[in-house]
Structure 1
């Protein structure tokens, strides 16, 4: 029987998924975790068929977890289920090694379809995201009109989101498991890439972005 592992920092979300997946006679939840370190340790030990991963976790980032699983060539297939719109993290997740991306606004029944598709070895994304990716291929590279946010690395984007939520440098560093100096470096890079005048402008931009996307 295929086994499912759930990685989410909200207990209620994990409980809801466990209950929903438990209704399927051919799927079994084998474990759960709230942060990257715990999830990676248990995935190594349990080797589930598939892991459902949120982007924003208690300590760390789901994209980093996906990269770690891929780097160790673990057999677990990764499916992202996040509150963030797929336009923000969808392609980043696939590039990291995930086989699907689904928004939490979708009904939980859709995630069962996504699980089954990924277990078959198929990539699961929305029709809109599939069309966007195909358009980029047809255009022969990067499509025009991309947001400046796309220029940020995964770590920089995570830092940007944390700034938007009002987190201080030391709190961001603790959440991401990095030093405050590294976070300050990320701040400077973000400011440069987004062509902002100062750190106050960066904060305003991050808050507005979070309101619109978070």
Structure 2
């Protein structure tokens, strides 16, 4: 009786890669208590899907075909309809998790994690918990996300979500062309983001920008 009446969690997937969306759906639909009821590749399409399907949980990537993952999380949270959000992204969790939490997200999994982490994360969040990796906890203990009132946090917090993604890519040693290709943006757009980052962080030269970005990604202060 209890198995028959058990609620099946309704889940949607918002990711800009079709193969990734399909892979998540295949994995999730193997679970008898979970069902993927829709998929989308961009922010606007994802929000329309959520309004239509009223899912229990949305899986969201930070980098989307159209729009921005954190902006989508804010929109979902503002609806106050009970839809919870689990982020699965290739971006560094320690750099982005605080923004995900502030936007209303309940968990974060790096795409390099083992597939079973996805199911664990979904189950934890559906039962009212938060799901973040040990890397985030370790990063907080080492102060990688800074502390209130420090210059490094003030500078980083002034960056938009897209600028922070570019900043992370610079810190990982990628060239402007590599960043543009990875983010499906033009070189000109990336250059504009880099100029905005330098202005917001008070940096004059490209070499300084690379140094600051590398230090931040590796856990040092700005």
TM-score bracket for this pair, using the shorter chain length: 0.7 to 0.9
Aligned length: 194
Task: Give, in whole Å, the separation in 1 of the partners of 2:141 and 2:127.
Answer: 22
- The answer (yes or no) to whether the contact 2:107–2:131 under 8 Å persists in 1 is yes
Alignment correspondent of 1:21 = 28
Alignment correspondent of 1:73 = 80
**Equivalences for 1:118-197 in 2 at 5 Å?**
118-133=125-140, 141-142=147-148, 149=156, 151-158=158-165, 160=167, 165-166=179-180, 167-168=185-186, 188-197=195-204
Matched, 1:37 2:44: yes
Alignment correspondent of 1:87 = 94
Aligned-partner SS, 2:12: strand
After superposition, give the CA deviation of every residue in 1:145-173 in whole Å (9 maximum; x if it has no partner).
9575455232432465596613437767x
Task: Give, in whole Å, the separation in 1 of the partners of 2:138 and 2:151.
Answer: 15
Change (3 A) 1:9 1:91: same
- The answer (yes or no) to whether the contact 2:203–2:209 under 8 Å persists in 1 is no
After superposition, give the CA deviation of every residue in 1:106-134 in whole Å (9 maximum; x if it has no partner).
01111100000000110111123135446
Change (3 A) 1:28 1:122: same
Identify unmatched segments of 5+ residues in structure 1. Answer: 173-182
TM-score, normalised via structure 2 length: 0.74
Alignment correspondent of 1:205 = 210
- The answer (yes or no) to whether the contact 1:6–1:51 under 8 Å persists in 2 is yes
Task: Give, in whole Å, the separation in 2 of the partners of 1:155 and 1:83.
Answer: 14
Alignment correspondent of 1:57 = 64
RMSD of Structure 2 on Structure 1 (CA)? 3.3
After superposition, give the CA deviation of every residue in 1:159-208 in whole Å (9 maximum; x if it has no partner).
65596613437767xxxxxxxxxx95x6554112333325xx289739x8
